[in-house]
Amino acid sequence: MKLKPLLSPTRIALQVSLSSKKKSLQAVSELFAKDIPSISKDLVFDALTDREKLGTTGLGDGIAIPHCRYADCCEPLCAIITLTDGGVSFDASDGKNVDLLWALIVPTDANDDHLQTLALMAEKLTQTEICQAIRQAQDPAKLYLLLTDDSH
């Protein structure tokens, strides 16, 4: 599975100042909706919030992968937000605030795609140099090119 069709420079927001997990999930939902008009930011937000109620998507080390199933989504889609001001609490097991959110929405029945995409994201996020590049990025287009370069 490749990252290029899952992500778009228009679904990357860098160095955003947000004050809570709720506002972070709202911002992610807005990225999806702004890029793809058929997506409802309110419905994505509700689905992400419902998923968080099952257990935090905060992985530790300042990283969260909020994800959910969304009926009006035809294919898996990702969005990335980096946060300023020390990040926000995401109830991660290590207690660290999250400053890097890599979100995923998948069609309701996309079980294999969901797991494959989460595995791909986790693989990227275990690479220290990739996380550092995401956190330091200033240009969404350049970050997109870096992340979709298959040599990483």
- Cα–Cα distance for residue pair 11/93, rounded to 1 Å: 27
Question: What is the pLDDT, as a whole number, of residue 152?
Answer: 47
| Options 3.90.1150.10, 1.10.10.10, 3.40.930.10, 2.60.40.10; CATH of 4-148 | 3.40.930.10
Ranking 39-48, 85-94, 117-126 by mean pLDDT, the lowest is 117-126
| Residue 126 DSSP symbol | T
Q: Mind telling me the catalytic residues? A: 67
Per-chain mean pLDDT for the chain: 92
pLDDT in tens, 78-109: 999 999 999 999 999 999 999 999 999 999 88
pLDDT in the model for residue 108 = 87
